[in-house]
């Protein structure tokens, strides 16, 4: 019998959820280990160079970190039943847009609904965080370890722009998003049609691990956006479920020239919610790179963020962490569009212009972000 893959993660982890769902959908046998265990801290963390999940260890002993890199490893190995990369130019660009927006643009509601409703969420979160705490802790030591881990995440929420001044706006914009996605899912089982793409997997991180598991947002999703909740179940299912009442039946994705209005509405939401932020981050990074005169950027450890920058978000000036990983995902969109023939590039450009997203296709950092030894680094 072939050995299974090992997945190191946590039930409540946003990025672990994306990898787990992919492995389930593609019937890839795996064993999930809690990341607080000795196997992870003793053997995996030294190989990866930092404490971060998800990590997959292949049957051959290769260690892979990063949700997107892991999905690409499986796609390249032929494990995918239906590729998560659409074959047509426009759909593939839309898939990359939602890969970026889903992974990185819904962190405000994901963090707000996890960390700002302690009365409802905290008993659940104490248990969930058991997955990442060292084995064997009890009593006060366990509580202290939870307070330490959760304290770091509360700080991360602030670094994504979730502060008392923005709470109401986070709630309002998330309700808007849920409404649009719920309406879209009336006609399609997945974001882009009959099967999951990289766009679904991007959205799934925040929408499942936080927003469809923690008690406060789970109730909100079930009561206000039941089709989105059902989509989170479908994303986690190894079996196919057919509902003939949904207009899009079968595996096919939408045709490039038949983009539903409900999908355009979601693209417009991504523009309103996230375009200002990613543009401000690219500008900050380019200024930051220009200032690095005394040292070689390619040799720098970038960590999770290179600084903080401010911009207008829905009428608030907010300050958020500039994370090079986002440029790595943005490049996947812009590289794809640049690789297209003129007529296809124009078709993508027309859809992005119609939905307020034209300028995202021109956003570029003056150095590319690449991944080396499990870390993000600037390229030469």
Ligand X SMILES: N[C@@H](CCC(=O)N[C@@H](CS)C(=O)NCC(=O)O)C(=O)O
Tell me which residues touch ligand X (CB under 6 A). Answer: 13-15, 51-54, 66-67, 325
- Tell me the closest approach of the beta carbon of residue 213 to ligand X, in angstroms: 12
DSSP 114-135: HHS-HHHHHHHHHHHGGGGSPT
Say if residues 335 and 370 touch (Cβ distance below 8 Å). no
The beta-carbon contacts of 67-71 under 8 Å, at least 24 apart in sequence, are: 67/15, 67/16, 67/18, 67/19, 67/103, 67/201, 67/205, 68/99, 68/103, 68/198, 68/328, 68/329, 68/332, 69/371, 70/19, 70/22, 71/18, 71/19, 71/22, 71/198, 71/201
Radius of gyration of the chain (CA): 20
For ligand X, give the closer residue by CB, 17 or 89: 17
| CA 334 to centroid of chain Cα atoms | 18
Quote the distance between the C-alpha of residue 357 and its chain's center: 19
Q: Give least dist CB 244 to ligand X, A.
A: 36
Q: Minimal distance in Å, beta carbon 330 to ligand X? A: 13
In angstroms, what is the minimal distance from the CB of 202 to ligand X? 10
Closest residue to ligand X, judged by C-beta, is 67
To ligand X, the closest distance from the beta carbon of 220 in angstroms equals 21
Closest CB to ligand X among residues 155, 219: 155
Would you say 53 or 97 has its CB closer to ligand X? 53
CB 131 within 8 Å of CB 35: yes
Q: In the numeric block, which tokens belong to residue 121?
A: 């969420």
Question: In the complex with ligand X, which residue's Cβ is closer, 326 or 367?
Answer: 326
* Cβ closest to ligand X, residue 45 vs residue 358: 45
Query: Residue 278 corresponds to which tokens in the numbers above?
Result: 């990613």
Q: Smallest distance from the beta carbon of 127 to ligand X, in angstroms? A: 17
Supply the minimum distance, in Å, between the C-beta of residue 133 and ligand X: 13
Q: Where are the beta strands (DSSP E) in 44-178?
A: 55-57, 63-65
Decide whether 12 or 189 has the Cβ nearer to ligand X: 12
Alpha carbon separation from 154 to 97, 166, 215, 333 (Å, rounded)? 27, 15, 17, 30
Name which of 114 and 216 has its Cβ closer to ligand X.
114
By beta-carbon proximity to ligand X, the closer residue of 85 and 254 is 85
Q: Hey, which bits of the chain come out as E strands?
A: 5-9, 30-34, 55-57, 63-65, 308-313, 316-321, 369-372, 375-378
- Least distance in angstroms from the C-beta of 67 to ligand X: 3
Q: Which tokens in the block code for residue 333?
A: 């969109």
Residue closer to ligand X by CB (options 207, 348) is 207
DSSP classification of residue 4: P
Closest separation in Å from C-beta 313 to ligand X: 21
CB 85 within 8 A of CB 31: no
Helices 107-115 and 215-224, axial angle in degrees (round to 10): 120
């Amino acid at each position: 019998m072939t050995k299974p893959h090992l997945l190191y993660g946590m039930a409540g982890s946003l990025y672990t959820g994306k990898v787990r769902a992919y492995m389930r959908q593609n019937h890839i046998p795996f064993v999930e280990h809690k990341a607080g265990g000795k196997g992870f801290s003793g053997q995996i963390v030294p190989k990866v160079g930092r404490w971060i999940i998800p990590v997959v260890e292949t049957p051959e002993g290769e260690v892979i970190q990063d949700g997107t890199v892991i999905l690409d490893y499986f796609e390249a190995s032929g494990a995918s039943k239906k590729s998560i990369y659409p074959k047509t130019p426009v759909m593939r660009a839309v898939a990359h847009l939602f890969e970026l927006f889903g992974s990185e643009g819904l962190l405000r509601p994901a963090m707000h609904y996890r960390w700002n409703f302690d009365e409802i969420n905290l008993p659940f979160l104490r248990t969930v965080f058991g997955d990442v705490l060292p084995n064997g802790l009890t009593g006060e030591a366990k509580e202290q370890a939870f307070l330490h881990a959760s304290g770091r995440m509360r700080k991360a929420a602030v670094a994504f722009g979730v502060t008392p001044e923005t709470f109401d706006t986070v709630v309002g914009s998330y309700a808007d998003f849920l409404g649009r996605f719920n309406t879209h899912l009336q006609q399609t089982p997945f974001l882009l049609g009959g099967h999951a793409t990289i766009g679904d997997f991007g959205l799934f991180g925040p929408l499942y691990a936080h927003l469809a598991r923690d008690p406060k947002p789970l109730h909100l999703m079930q009561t206000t956006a039941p089709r989105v909740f059902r989509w989170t179940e479908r994303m986690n299912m190894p079996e196919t479920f057919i509902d003939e009442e949904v207009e899009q039946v079968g595996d096919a994705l939408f045709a490039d020239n038949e983009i539903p209005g409900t999908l355009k509405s979601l693209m417009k939401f991504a523009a309103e919610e996230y375009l200002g932020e990613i543009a401000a981050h690219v500008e900050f990074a380019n200024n930051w790179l220009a200032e690095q005169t005394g040292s070689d950027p390619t040799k720098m450890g970038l960590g999770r963020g290179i600084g903080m920058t401010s911009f207008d978000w829905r009428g608030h000036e907010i300050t958020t962490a500039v994370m090079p990983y986002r440029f790595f995902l943005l490049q996947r969109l812009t590289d794809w569009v640049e690789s297209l023939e003129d007529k296809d590039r124009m078709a993508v450009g027309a859809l992005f212009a119609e939905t307020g997203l034209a300028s995202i296709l021109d956003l570029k950092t003056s150095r590319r972000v690449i991944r080396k030894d499990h870390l993000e680094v600037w390229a030469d």
